[in-house]
Amino acid sequence: MEIIKRSLEAARVALNSLEDRGRELGAGAFGDISTMADVVSEKAIIDVLKSAMPGIAILSEEAGLLGDADSSKHLAIVDPVDGTVNLKHGLPFYSAAIAISKGKRFSDIIAAGIIDLVNGDVIMADEKNVCLNDKPVRPSNVDSLNEAVVSFDLKVFKHGGRLSKFAERVASRARYARFMGSAALETAYVACGRLDCFLALDGVRVVDMAAAAYIVMRAGGVVGCLEESLESLNLLYRGDIRYVAAANDKLLKEIIGTLDAIQP
């Protein structure tokens, strides 16, 4: 975990000294607009990873795949800035995320970390521990939607249809509903009890969710993908993933049951 932590902290240091961080530089490897912040954060992370783990393959949102994922002993999944829109508009909620695996499936991940690039909070997990700023954490005990604080991506309402109705019903039944704009950080918040549930219904990329989903599961929470098995998810997959992260299985089942009750 120490290598991940150093990489994330290097990214924050690089951004803190960066002027014009929201300037657009064109499209990254996944087709999204890259900013100065994305590129500088990515370079800081990659430099630390390559120095500490020579030969590591890296899949990052801006640069794409660096190295050979088939022959390397380790693969890093990197999102240098999650919440770029917030960053560009001066909204203080954006993060960076790293997951390290020994193979190309989600089940091969062995450690992950996320840093709040604004306040420096670091949420880390490996096969034994889950910590927020080096202190052990776990999900909340909330197991009912009407007592839950939930967060989700409001872009789902642009599309209408079944998932839009699903999000509306969850939001109306939850105790409180929020949308903060960084899927990685919001998912990781489920692991440490700051949120009871996060719904990524518009779809996010593997680089956005792999680290956070791993952290939630290691903390004792649950993550359910809507279209496929999370454990067999290919970490090199370039498409969108829709999922629900919840504090416990009972809460997840109630939320998924809300979806099942909606006619296609």
Q: Residue 34 and residue 74: Cα distance in Å, rounded?
A: 26
Contact 119, 110 (CB under 8 A): no
Return the number of other C-beta atoms located less than 10 Å from residue 134's C-beta: 10
Contact 241, 206 (CB under 8 A): yes
Residue 31 pLDDT greater than 60, yes or no: no
Average pLDDT along the chain: 92
Question: Looking at the DSSP assignment, which residues form a beta bridge with residue 65?
Answer: 59
Angular region, 47: left φ>0, alpha ψ -120 to 50, beta rest: alpha
Per-domain residue ranges for the chain? 2-136, 145-260
Q: Residue 124 and residue 132: Cα distance in Å, rounded?
A: 7
Give Cα separations from 255 to 65, 84, 152, 227, 245 (angstroms).
Answer: 35, 28, 13, 15, 10
Which numeric CATH code is attached to 2-136? 3.30.540.10
What pLDDT, on a 0 to 100 scale, did the predictor assign at position 263? 63
Residues with Cβ within 8 Å of residue 238, at least 6 apart in sequence:
30, 205, 206
Residue 29 pLDDT greater than 70, yes or no: no
Q: Residue 47 and residue 39: Cα distance in Å, rounded?
A: 12
40-61 exposure pattern, b = at least 16 Cβ within 10 A, e = fewer:
bbbbbbbebbbeebeebbbbbb
What pLDDT, on a 0 to 100 scale, did the predictor assign at position 187? 98
Q: Pick the residue with more confidence: 41 or 35?
A: 41
Bridge-based pairing state of the strands 176-178 and 149-152: parallel
- For 151, the 3-state DSSP assignment is strand
Query: 155-202: per-residue pLDDT in tens?
Result: 888 777 888 898 999 999 999 999 999 999 999 999 999 999 999 998
DSSP H or E run through 224: strand 222-225
What pLDDT, on a 0 to 100 scale, did the predictor assign at position 118? 96
Residue 134 pLDDT greater than 60, yes or no: yes
Query: 61-102: per-residue pLDDT in tens?
Result: 888 899 999 999 999 999 999 999 999 899 999 999 999 999
145-260 under CATH 3.40.190.80, yes or no: yes
